[in-house]
Amino acid sequence: MQTWEAITSRRNVRSFDGRPIPPADLDRILETGRRSPSSQNWQPWDFIVVTDRDQLRELAGVWRGAGHVAGSAATIVVIGPAADNEFGRAQLDLGQATMAMMLAAADLGIGSCHAGVADLGLARELLGFPEDRDWAFLISLGYPADRPLVSPCPWSGNVAWHVTDPRR
């Protein structure tokens, strides 16, 4: 798949068909995160990969919008540092790493979905990350159960550009 196809076929997928993701593909997705740009190249992230079904089910309880994690083939937990600066650079860095990993997944035909973490205590208890990491979010991964990732067909109709000059 070409970059443009990965960009246009990526969508948030919340139901997965149960097939496991080959380890080499998971490695590629994680390597994509690791190679993402970050402020002053400080690479403030940690990634924890969860593939055990019971752990995935428990992890789904960290936020009411994280139900899709339970049925994922794997979920990457992206962990953020307590120390940041006034620009919130870690948030941008982790956001970029997240999007890069989701595109790498789409490139492999793997669907993905974000989820926030409201119950950080539960996430910490399940995964054991240290106190100096105090925020996290989730990327569930798996092969889409509903329809494959496909680039939308090009429009067949004409496209009209209507430009309004606000000075008139």
Residue span binding ligand FMN (CB under 6 A) among the ranges 28-36, 62-70, 71-79, 81-89: 62-70
User: What spatial distance separates the first Cα and last Cα of the chain, rounded to whole Å?
Assistant: 45
Contact between 92 and ligand FMN (CB under 6 A)? no
Which residue in the set 6, 101, 110, 115 belongs to the binding site for ligand FMN (CB under 6 A)? 115
Residue 18 falls in which region: left (phi positive, over 0), alpha (psi -120 to 50) or beta: left
The residue behind tokens 């593909």 is: 25
Report the residue number, 87 or 161, with the smaller CB distance to ligand FMN.
87
Contact between 61 and ligand FMN (CB under 6 A)? no
Q: Is there a contact between 36 and 96 (Cβ–Cβ < 8 Å)?
A: yes
Cα distances from 150 to residues 4, 31, 75, 85, in angstroms, run: 11, 24, 22, 39
Look up residue 17 and give its two tokens. 């068909």
Report the residue number, 48 or 60, with the smaller CB distance to ligand FMN.
60
In whole angstroms, the minimum distance from the beta carbon of 63 to ligand FMN comes to 6
What residues make contact with ligand FMN under the rule CB under 6 A?
11-12, 14, 63, 65-66, 68, 113-116
